[in-house]
Amino acid sequence: TPEKAGKHITLLHTNDMHARAVESESNGELGFARLAGIIDSYRASNPNTLLLDGGDAIHGTTFATLVEGESVVRVMNAMGYDAAVPGNHEFNYGYNRLVELEPQMEYPLLSANIRVKEDDSPLFHPYVIKEVDGVKIGIFGLTTPETAYKTHPKNVDGLVFTDPAEEAKAIVAELKDQVDVIVALGHIGQDASSADTSLNIAKDVAGIDVFIDGHSHTMLQKGLEAGHGTLIASAGEYTKYLGVVDLWIDQGKVISKEAKLIDYKAAAAIGPDKKIAELVDSIVAEQQEVLSSEVGETAVKLDGEREQVRAGETNLGNLIADSLRSVTKADIAITNGGGIRASIDEGTITLGEIITVLPFGNQIVTLNVTGADIKAALENGVSDYPNPKGAFPQVSGIAFKIDTAKAKGSRVHSVTVGGAPLDAKKQYTLATNDFIAAGGDEYTMFASYPQAGMFGALDEALTSYLRGLGTAASPAVEGRITAGAT
Ligand code: ATP
Ligand code: ZN
């Protein structure tokens, strides 16, 4: 660390860890134990250190989903986090689950812009003031308003995500005479397509010394000097980096600040923290029995790659859509490619793989919908084709063509259901997941239909479908969805 005047405080930070608990050398993912090892070494050289998380921590692998996030909270407690902000994925188990987990967190969960609709009260603490070596540090949380539509509506029902810049302004005004340093802990991101970015907030709001950010999975090697001199820092994704922000404070003011990232290579010599390694290992071992149970076999790789499953028919998409139709006996099944989160290798299929592919805990529902709305749904799903889009439909019982020369909204043609042309006026039984049925991924045409039937969990339907197949499954891409001229 360079010699600077004043008191030296270090903010260590993570974001978008997505429950990557276990290290993966090939992916450059540190995992919790190696992250903790680096954190230990910083704490040893400077006791005036805080550890912060920028959200999307408690969901994303079976390590988390199997126990709805609790395992990650246990590890983060042991790692000694000082504060965290809820990201959009913290809501994947429903906000009541997050409210239930919060008291188990030995660190404050901060967000200034999530309010309870009924009485406008903040759902979590907006900010916390930490005193480190006599320096007062105000830390406030901000969560992306995209959460309102990026998760299942029922997960955030009763909540309002307010304007983060407005909330930030109010909090900075409240904090500025009480503290020496103001830190925004955001799950906001720097994605230009988003209405709210950390860059815009820094531009709009004076007085934020450091903005620790997440959501866009951005890797800022040396941070980013933004509006009003705010230093934005963000540590990529999946435990690939530990973010380090060094602050020097003199007479109640930050006089110097620097950001950097520590990656797998740079940390190679440090090694894992033993206590965290033991904790992670013991949780993994507890879970192993359930996850390793066999549910079937596949003769081919089942393709759930993001770029494939969001841009075209894949064999895994077909298999999942077929399982939906099989359990419901519906005419048609549509499921969003964005809900399929991984591939399955050739050979034995384990329950762990199924949960990894389908981590959202979706329920299956049927709706009785018109042919016209089926057509509108397909148009919505392929509007970005051939570019990937979460809404891309994986289908069963139905086939169609996409004419890319045609404008969005009128590029779907030659639609057949069970071999017969789709009739716009006829009613069909549609099986889908509850996210789509509620209008998720802009399938708004389905939101007004009452549920005709409910059929349990999507991952369970796939599991029993595979078990029913008995021998090895070998689903193929069979031309359900093709591109071609009218
Ligand atoms: P980030 O990790 O940066 O926050 P993200 O998960 O918000 O990313 P994507 O990885 O693009 O962004 O995933 C969003 C897509 O995930 C949605 O478009 C949708 O297809 C799918 N998705 C999100 N929630 C659900 C859900 N509850 N059920 C089914 N699919 C979902
Ligand atoms: Zn994320």
> Quick check: CB of 352 below 6 Å from ligand 1?
no
Strand ranges in 5-153 using DSSP code E only, listed in sequence order: 7-14, 49-53, 83-84, 114-116, 127-132, 135-143
Distance 88 CA to ligand 1 centre (A): 9
Query: Does any ligand 1 atom lie closer than 6 A to the CB of residue 151?
Result: yes
Question: Which pLDDT does position 486 carry in this prediction?
Answer: 82
Confidence label for 472 from pLDDT (cuts 50, 70 and 90): confident
Q: Which atom of ligand 1 is nearest to the CA of 87?
A: 4
pLDDT tens for 381-426 read 999 999 999 999 999 999 999 999 999 999 999 999 999 999 999 9
Ligand 2 is an ion; its neighbours by CB within 5 Å are: 16, 56
pLDDT score recorded for residue 458: 93
Residues near 74 by Cβ (< 8 Å), separated by ≥ 6?
A: 104, 279, 283
State the Cα–Cα distance between residues 95 and 58, nearest whole angstrom: 13
Please say whether the beta carbons of 111 and 143 come within 8 A: yes
Enter the DSSP assignment of 349. Answer: E
Does a cis peptide bond (omega within 30 degrees of 0) precede residue 386?
yes
Separation CA 132–CA 148 (nearest Å): 35
- How many angstroms is it from 340 CA to the middle of ligand 1? 9
Pairing assessment for the beta strands 7-14 and 294-298 based on DSSP bridges: unpaired
Quickly state the pLDDT bin for 133 (edges 50, 70, 90): very high
At residue 193 the predicted structure's pLDDT band, cuts being 50, 70 and 90, is confident
pLDDT of residue 228: 95
DSSP string, 292-318: T-EEEEESS-B---HHHHTTS--HHHH
Predicted confidence (pLDDT) at residue 281 exceeds the cutoff of 90: yes
Q: What is the pLDDT of residue 453?
A: 86
Q: Best mutation site among 58, 91, 336 for ligand 1, i.e. most ligand atoms within 8 A of its Cβ?
A: 336
Pick the more confident residue, 326 or 451. Answer: 326
Give the least confident one: 293-297, 340-344, 369-373, 419-423. Answer: 293-297
pLDDT at 469 over 90: no
- Alpha-carbon gap, residue 183 to 50, rounded angstroms: 11
Q: Which residues of 197-235 are buried (b: 16+ CB within 10 A; e: fewer)?
A: bbbbbbebbebbbbbbbbbbbbebeebbebeeebbbbbb
Instruction: Please indicate whether residue 388, judged by its CB atom, sits closer than 6 Å to ligand 1.
Output: no
Q: Give 150 Cα–ligand 1 centroid separation in angstroms.
A: 6
pLDDT of 443 over the 70 cut: yes
The answer, yes or no, to whether residue 183 has pLDDT greater than 60, is: yes
- What is the average pLDDT across 184-205? 94
Q: Is the pLDDT at 2 greater than 60, yes or no?
A: no
% residues pLDDT > 90 (the chain): 88
Q: Summarize the confidence of residues 430-457 as an average pLDDT.
A: 92
Instruction: Say whether 10 sits in a helix, a strand or coil.
Output: strand
DSSP labels, 433-485: EHHHHTTGGG-GGGTTSPP-EEEEEHHHHHHHHHHHH-S-B-----SSEEE--
**Integer Cα distance of 30 and 72 in angstroms:** 15
> Is residue 483 exposed (0-12), middle (13-18) or buried (19+ Cβ within 10 Å)?
middle
Nearest CA to 480 among 402, 363, 387?
Answer: 402
| 155-180 average pLDDT score | 96
Contacts of 348 (CB under 8 A, 6+ apart): 294, 296, 297
User: Which residues in the chain are classed under CATH 3.90.780.10?
Assistant: 295-483
- Angle (CA) 11-139-239 rounded to 5° is 45
**93, 96, 85: which is closest to 68 by C-alpha?**
93
Domain 295-483 falls under CATH 3.90.780.10: yes
pLDDT at res. 471: 77
Q: Which of the two residues, 378 and 485, has the higher pLDDT score?
A: 378
Q: Which residues pair with 16 in a beta bridge?
A: none
pTM of the predicted structure, to 2 decimals = 0.80
Q: How far is the CA of 14 from the centre of ligand 1 (A)?
A: 20
Per-residue confidence (pLDDT) for residue 368, from 0 to 100: 96
Residues of the chain with CATH 3.60.21.10: 7-287
Rounded mean pLDDT of 282-287?
95
**Strand-pair category, 420-421 with 347-350:** unpaired
pLDDT digits 0-9 by tens, 231-273: 999 999 999 999 999 999 999 999 999 999 999 999 989 999 9
Q: Indicate the top mutation candidate among 53, 150, 151, 217 to test ligand 1's pocket, ranked by most ligand atoms within 8 A of CB.
A: 150
Sheet holding 412-417, edge to edge: 420-421, 412-417, 398-402, 481-483
- What is the pLDDT at residue 153? 80
Tell me if 273 sits within 8 A of 36, measured CB to CB.
yes
Q: Which residues contact 217 (CB under 8 A, 6 or more apart)?
A: 15, 16, 189, 236, 237
Ligand in closest contact with the CA of 358: 1
In CATH, the number for domain 7-287 is: 3.60.21.10
CA pair distance 115, 159, nearest whole angstrom = 6
Q: Which sign does the torsion angle of CA 102, 106, 109, 110 carry?
A: positive
Instruction: Give residue-wise pLDDT tens across range 83-129.
Output: 999 999 999 999 999 999 999 999 999 999 999 999 999 999 999 99
Interatomic CA distance for residues 203 and 197, integer angstroms = 10
Local confidence band at 3 (pLDDT 50, 70, 90 cut-offs): low
Q: Is 187 in the pocket of ligand 1 (CB under 6 A)?
A: no
Q: What is the mean pLDDT of the chain?
A: 95
d(CA 159, CA 99): 12
Pairing, β 481-483 against β 114-116: unpaired
Q: Which residues neighbour 98 within 8 Å (Cβ) at sequence distance 6 or greater?
A: 69, 86, 90, 91, 109
Check residue 279 and report its DSSP letter: H
Per-position DSSP letters for 100-126, written without gaps between them: HHGGG-SS-BB-SSEEETTT--BSSBS
User: And the tokens for 394?
Assistant: 């994986």
